[in-house]
């Protein structure tokens, strides 16, 4: 992998990740951009104890632009985009409309491919491996920032999820606090350690392997399963079989196998509802150990992949119970979801 660091016209950082060492990236951003002005602010809810990012500047971000005005496609004569070059493998840049900025954290955009009409599932194993290297490199860089306590790499895919740019891309958030979901996990891990002396993540994976009914895909270095108490209609958790804290700790064998395993999971997601249905909307979320906290070594890196679609024509809305009380009601039994995801395996 070759990494090239440059800046955009407004001073934001942009990084090219290329699979070939000989690539030269010297294109200049020729857009007349003003400096980025953000109003990101973190406010803590005294009742729930969680934090909310107030970011009014995001109201002006691009919203479903036509394909020929996509800001994530390479630049070409007469149309300048966020990427100055006329081609790229993987690109990462600071978000012009960040949810978190300055002392409140950092937000970046990750473009998986220059092909506007592609998807992550359509990438080659080499391309998917390059994205993994980019995620890992950014995790390492974020870890050096004093204002970042947790790194979250994720992809939103599909208009049903709320995606406003169709180009295949994801984001990376550097939170200035430990997120509420992670705090809950850490609390459960500590309670389990006190009660049993074991590691909760290890025991969950061992239980799923022993049961087998919810296993979706099993590799030499990775295991994917539908969790026992899945919140979403189709939800898969992907764990390295050797527990590590974050992406930096994966060994070469796990990195190599990840591309094949993850691409297969995404292809299965697109087959859940049949060959004539549109691509399945999903959220793909990496969970990594926060920095500088007690219990960091007990955390387990894993990826959670889920969709809001429950049938070809019906979505799972977060209505009264979910939104009002944080109590999920799942219409699809996890065992049935796992069976379906095994049925649609690639031949």
Instruction: In whole angstroms, give the CA distance from residue 216 to residue 270.
Output: 15
- 148: DSSP letter: -
116 among the known binding-site residues?
yes
| Residue 192 annotated among the catalytic residues of the structure | no
73 among the known binding-site residues?
yes
Residue 74: partners with Cβ closer than 8 Å, 6 or more residues away: 81, 83, 85, 86, 87, 88, 114
In the set 169, 221, 287, 302, the catalytic residue is: 169
Instruction: In whole angstroms, give the CA distance from residue 315 to residue 330.
Output: 12
70 among the known binding-site residues?
yes
Q: Angle formed by the axes of helices 180-196 and 200-211, to 10°? A: 80
Tokens of 163: 């995606």
Q: How many residues can be counted in the chain?
A: 347
- Given a contact cutoff of 8 angstroms between Cβ atoms, the answer to whether 94 and 10 are in contact is no
How would you class 256 by CB atoms within 10 Å of its CB: exposed for 0-12, middle for 13-18, buried for 19 or more?
Answer: middle
Instruction: In whole angstroms, give the CA distance from residue 12 to residue 95.
Output: 8
Which residue, 285, 266, 279, 277, is CA-closest to 345? 266
Binding-site residues for Zn(2+) sit at 70, 73, 116, 167
Known catalytic residues are: 169
Binding-site residues sit at 70, 73, 116, 167
């Amino acid at each position: 992998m070759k990494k090239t660091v440059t800046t955009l016209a407004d001073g934001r950082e942009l990084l090219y990740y290329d699979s070939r060492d000989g690539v030269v990236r010297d294109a200049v951003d020729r857009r007349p951009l003003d400096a980025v002005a953000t109003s990101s602010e973190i406010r803590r809810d005294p009742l729930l104890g969680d934090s909310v990012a107030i970011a009014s500047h995001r109201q002006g971000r691009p919203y479903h632009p036509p394909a020929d005005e996509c800001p994530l496609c390479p630049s070409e004569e007469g149309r300048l985009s966020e990427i100055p070059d006329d081609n790229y493998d993987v690109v990462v840049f600071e978000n012009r409309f960040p949810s978190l900025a300055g002392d409140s954290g950092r937000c970046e955009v990750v473009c998986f491919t220059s092909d506007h009409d592609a998807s992550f599932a359509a990438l080659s194993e080499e391309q998917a491996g390059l994205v993994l290297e980019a995620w890992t490199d950014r995790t390492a860089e974020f870890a050096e920032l004093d204002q970042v306590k947790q790194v979250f790499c994720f992809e939103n895919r599909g208009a049903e999820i709320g995606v406003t740019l169709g180009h295949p891309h994801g984001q990376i958030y550097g939170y200035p606090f430990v997120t509420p979901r992670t705090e809950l996990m850490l609390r459960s891990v500590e309670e389990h350690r006190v009660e049993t002396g074991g590691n909760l993540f290890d025991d969950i994976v061992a239980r799923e392997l022993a049961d087998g009914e919810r296993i979706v895909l099993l590799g030499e270095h990775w295991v994917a399963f539908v969790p026992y108490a899945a919140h979403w209609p189709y939800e898969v958790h992907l764990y390295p079989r050797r527990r590590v804290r974050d992406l930096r700790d994966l060994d070469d064998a796990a990195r190599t196998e990840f591309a094949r395993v993850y691409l297969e999971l995404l292809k299965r997601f697109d087959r859940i509802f049949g060959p004539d249905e549109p691509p399945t909307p999903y959220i793909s979320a990496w969970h990594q150990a926060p920095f500088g906290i007690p219990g960091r070594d007990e955390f387990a890196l894993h990826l959670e992949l889920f969709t809001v679609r429950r049938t070809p024509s019906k979505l799972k809305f977060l209505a009264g119970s979910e939104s009002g009380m944080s109590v999920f009601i799942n219409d699809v039994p996890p065992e049935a979801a796992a069976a379906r995801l095994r049925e649609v395996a690639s031949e």
